[in-house]
Amino acid sequence: MKAALIGCGGMGSGHARSAPEHGVEVVAFCDVIEAAAERSRAEFGGRYATTDAGRIMRDDSIDLVIIATHHDAHHPLAVAGARAGKHLLVEKPLCQTREQAIEVAEAVDKAGVKLIVNCKFRIAPTVQKGKELIPHPRLSHGQLATGNYALKPPGTGSTWIWDKDDGGGLLISTAVHTVDLLAYLMGSTADRVYAEGRLFDPKNKGTAGYPDGLVGTILWRNGGLSTVISTDQGISHNPWVSKWFHEMWDGERSAVFTAHTGRVDFGGCEIGYLETQELPAEERRKASMLHNLLEAIRTDGETLCDAHDGVQTVAICNALDEAARTGRPQRVVSG
């Protein structure tokens, strides 16, 4: 399988590094910054580096395109990729708005290509075990606490996630993982959300007005309920739960996911806990969204987080943002 990488930054490099483990050869590298594309080609090999995404789309030798750009480019690149008949691994979020995400889903369905959104918590062995042991949770909680991205000097690290164009704020940029995992665990689509958001450090202009603390609720169509916390106040990560924390209950059993979903502790289940690090290397290798996408291509099956899942998650994030902005509950229309 031959692939191209668009977006040769931190996450793109991670994909290029792990691709060979899955039998994928990255033959082309594209970035708006020529030096970034060249650097990746030099580091990972491959036939060419380019600033022209169109060249990737026209290249018939490429079956799969990995999109790891800033968020404003996910929509045009994913639509172009699907229309060019490429299978797609798109970094989260699928898009910044529900309308854009629907366009991607339509293009993917029409072209008959496979797409996976890299909402990678879904494939964590701890999460798979949680779904097996607690298939119908009634309540759940998810939280993201980043380490004050907004207070870092502009242009460094992940400060671009606060930019209205490039990023779209912490919720859609990063807490999207948590919203997506709650949707997956609850096994439902969202009906209604409510949220309150605050900018705790008013001197901080770096967030473009997006809240650096948001607490939301999600009512699912199957009657389940979730709470969400998305905050940039986590400069001192709690060593017990890490940057990410999730919990669910079904009335008899419970599961607590800690350590970036590297560990789950169960209550009322036949096993007490599972830690990914204790699993055999082959099982850990398979716990990858790229592996899942390749299986879907090989078997003509579904991916674990397809374009329609991506639409749903973006729709929930948009609705939570709107609720926090307006102070009013919002209906979530996903399809």
Ligand X SMILES: NC(=O)c1ccc[n+]([C@@H]2O[C@H](COP(=O)([O-])OP(=O)(O)OC[C@H]3O[C@@H](n4cnc5c(N)ncnc54)[C@H](O)[C@@H]3O)[C@@H](O)[C@H]2O)c1
For ligand X, what does the binding mask look like between residues 138 and 177, x meaning CB under 6 A? Answer: --------------------x--------------x----
Neighbours of 134 (CB within 10 A): 24
Choose, by CB under 6 A, the member of 17, 20, 23, 33 that binds ligand X. Answer: 33
For ligand X, what does the binding mask look like between residues 291 and 320, x meaning CB under 6 A? Answer: ------------------------------
Residue 247 within binding range of ligand X, rule CB under 6 A: no
3-class secondary structure per residue, 211-268: CCEEEEEEEECCCCEEEEEEECECCCCCCCCCCEEEEEECCCCEEEEECCCCEEEEEC
Residue closer to ligand X by CB (options 54, 268) is 54
Residue 15 within binding range of ligand X, rule CB under 6 A: no
Residue closer to ligand X by CB (options 98, 120) is 120
Choices 21-29, 69-77, 98-106, 250-258 (CB under 6 A): range interacting with ligand X = 69-77
Choices 68-76, 126-134, 226-234, 313-321 (CB under 6 A): range interacting with ligand X = 68-76
d(CA 53, CA 33): 12
CB of 39 to ligand X, least distance (A): 9
Residue 70 within binding range of ligand X, rule CB under 6 A: yes
Residue closer to ligand X by CB (options 7, 213) is 7
Q: What is the DSSP letter of 197?
A: E
Q: What is the dihedral of CA 121, 124, 126, 131, to 10 degrees?
A: 70
H-run or E-run covering 185 = helix 176-186
Choose, by CB under 6 A, the member of 8, 16, 105, 307 that binds ligand X. Answer: 8
CB of 267 to ligand X, least distance (A): 28
Sheet arrangement for strand 263-267: 273-275, 263-267, 254-258, 244-249, 139-145, 225-231, 213-220, 190-198, 330-331
Residue 12 within binding range of ligand X, rule CB under 6 A: yes
Residue 30 within binding range of ligand X, rule CB under 6 A: yes
Residues 265 and 258 sit within 8 Å (Cβ to Cβ): yes
Calculate ∠ Cα 314-320-175, nearest 5°: 60
Residue closer to ligand X by CB (options 73, 123) is 73
- The residue type of 145 is A
Residue 68 within binding range of ligand X, rule CB under 6 A: yes
For residue 22, give every residue at least 6 positions away whose Cβ sits within 8 Å of its Cβ, in sequence order, or none. 285, 288, 290, 291, 294
Total number of residues binding ligand X (CB under 6 A)? 24
Residue 193 within binding range of ligand X, rule CB under 6 A: no
Neighbours of 238 (CB within 10 A): 11
Return the residue nearest ligand X (CB atom).
9
Residues 114-143 that bind ligand X (CB under 6 A): 118, 120
* Burial classification of residue 35, based on how many CB atoms lie within 10 Å of its CB (0-12 exposed, 13-18 middle, 19 or more buried): exposed
For residue 178, give every residue at least 6 positions away whose Cβ sits within 8 Å of its Cβ, in sequence order, or none. 142, 143, 144, 228, 230, 244, 246
Residue 92 within binding range of ligand X, rule CB under 6 A: yes
Residue closer to ligand X by CB (options 158, 217) is 158
Choices 7-15, 140-148, 240-248, 308-316 (CB under 6 A): range interacting with ligand X = 7-15
Interface positions with ligand X (CB under 6 A): 6-12, 30-33, 36, 53, 68-71, 73, 91-92, 118, 120, 158, 173
